[in-house]
Amino acid sequence: MTTPAPHFYGLGAEFSSASSLMTAAEKVRDSGFRKWDVYSPFPIHGMDAAMGFSRSRVSFFSLIGGITGLTTAFILIYYTSALNYPLIVQGKPYFALEPSMPVFFELTVLLTAFGTIIGLLLLTLMPRLHHPVFNWDRFKRVSDDGFFIVLEAADPRFEKGASRRFLEELGGSHITEIFQDAEPQPHPARAEAQGHA
């Protein structure tokens, strides 16, 4: 293991299509890399398996949200209608399940949605203002039609020369060193990226 300069983030490579990206991802997975990622303009069906991911845990947060919502609704209705100020309205019971159902349902849905969005933000570490990959000019195409793999220098298997060769073997092009901070050298790539649009 080499010790790269502290501001060095990793090596990025561009791929020509979703299918070549997926083939490459499978090989990176099989080589045992842990700190790496695949970037694409849209979610690619089967990429989770190609990267060796297990199921997303967002649903856990949704469940917590849903349970909280239902509990809140129950406590809210029961406390206000039957405990704190019981009031006979139209001869109906203070508390009954039937008229409580709509509010039970709505608050369950509402807090499930909150749970889901909180879970998503926590698991994807969003929002964040910056990320080293944004220092790579070609990376702007990720939200257009670019497909990328970035191997992080922090991975124990990372070794600058060998990893570069590995990305080349996988069929990656425009292999670029990505840095943590602002770009250390002026960019010929910038003109290229703009010429693309």
CA distance 11 to 2: 14
CA distance 15 to 147: 5
**Considering the complex, what minimum distance in angstroms separates the CB of residue 126 from another protein?**
4
What does the block give as tokens for 192?
Answer: 């290229």
Instruction: Quickly count: other Cβ atoms within 10 Å of residue 135's Cβ.
Output: 21
User: Do residues 13 and 36 make contact, with C-beta atoms less than 8 angstroms apart?
Assistant: no
Q: Which is nearer to another protein, 3 or 84 (CB)?
A: 84
Q: Taking CB under 8 A as the criterion, which residues in 57-86 touch another protein? A: 57-59, 62, 76-77, 80-81, 84-85
**CA 58 from centre of chain:** 10
CA distance 189 to 181: 17
List 5, 97, 102, 165, residue binding another protein (CB under 8 A): 102
The number of helix segments (H) and strand segments (E) in the chain equals 6, 4
Q: Which is nearer to another protein, 6 or 45 (CB)?
A: 45
Q: Which is nearer to another protein, 1 or 88 (CB)?
A: 88
**Considering the complex, what minimum distance in angstroms separates the CB of residue 70 from another protein?**
13
List 90, 161, 185, 195, residue binding another protein (CB under 8 A): 90
Q: Taking CB under 8 A as the criterion, which residues in 22-51 touch another protein? A: 22-23, 25-26, 29-30, 32, 34, 37-51
Q: Which is nearer to another protein, 3 or 85 (CB)?
A: 85
Q: Taking CB under 8 A as the criterion, which residues in 120-149 touch another protein? A: 120-121, 123-124, 126-131, 133-134, 139-145
Q: Taking CB under 8 A as the criterion, which residues in 164-193 touch another protein? A: none
In order, the DSSP letters of 2-20 are: ----TTEEEEEEEESSHHH
